[in-house]
Amino acid sequence: MSITNDTGETLAISVETSPPVYTIYPGESGPFGLPGIPGDCTEWTLHATTADGVVAAQVGPRVCDGDSWTITQVELDQARDDAGLEAPDPTPAPTS
């Protein structure tokens, strides 16, 4: 699976309710390993969270090895609006 952060903020990727397992920086794309053999799927839900705790986007509960997930600035802006939080300036780095 691949993940692309098409936002202006650093995002922490977590599985279900676990602590973050991956950090993806603004403009970065990269692979994200899933359990099993190549081509397998899992019933995970992945969450992309900002340093100040806003869940920018999620995907799942079924994600597969060949999937790609792009987190957009539009999604992040909407999540911030829904949470009533403005983007920090400058954007802090995640603490985890």
- The total of other beta-carbon atoms located within 10 Å of residue 9's CB is 24
Cα gap 93→96, rounded to integer Å: 9
pLDDT tens for each residue of 19-76: 899 999 999 999 998 888 888 999 999 999 999 999 999 999 999 999 999 999 999 9
Model pTM score: 0.85
Question: Is residue 93 pLDDT above 60, yes or no?
Answer: no
Between the CA of residue 69 and those of 3, 4, 6, 59, 88, what are the distances in Å? 5, 6, 10, 8, 24
pLDDT in tens, 6-23: 999 999 999 988 889 999
